Amino acid sequence: MKFQAVREVALAKIQHLFANVHIPLKALREMTNKTVQLVRKWVGLNTHSTRGIIFLPCGEGGLGVPNVEWTYIATRLAHLIHMLNNDDVTVREMARASLLLDLHRRKIPLASADQNNFLGFRRKDSGKLDSQAKGFGVWSDWPDLNDLCNRTGVQLKWTRLNTQTEVPVSDELITDPSVVVKADITTPQEETVELHRDSARRVVLSMKQSEIRQHWIHNNT
pLDDT in the model for residue 13: 57
In our burial notation (b when 16+ CB lie closer than 10 A, e otherwise), range 4-25 reads eebeebbbeebeeebeeeebee
pLDDT in the model for residue 60: 74
Q: How many Å apart are CA 44 and CA 32, to the nearest integer?
A: 18
pLDDT in the model for residue 144: 94
Angstrom CA distances, 24 to 123, 129, 147, 149, 165, stand at 20, 17, 11, 15, 35
Q: What is the pLDDT along the chain (221 residues), one digit of tens a residue?
A: 566 666 666 666 556 556 678 888 898 888 888 888 888 887 777 776 667 778 877 777 777 788 888 888 999 999 999 999 999 999 999 999 999 999 999 999 999 988 999 999 999 999 999 998 876 667 889 999 999 999 999 999 999 998 888 999 999 999 999 999 999 998 877 889 999 988 899 999 888 877 767 765 566 55
pLDDT in the model for residue 139: 80
pLDDT in the model for residue 11: 64
pLDDT in the model for residue 134: 76
pLDDT in the model for residue 39: 82
pTM: 0.86
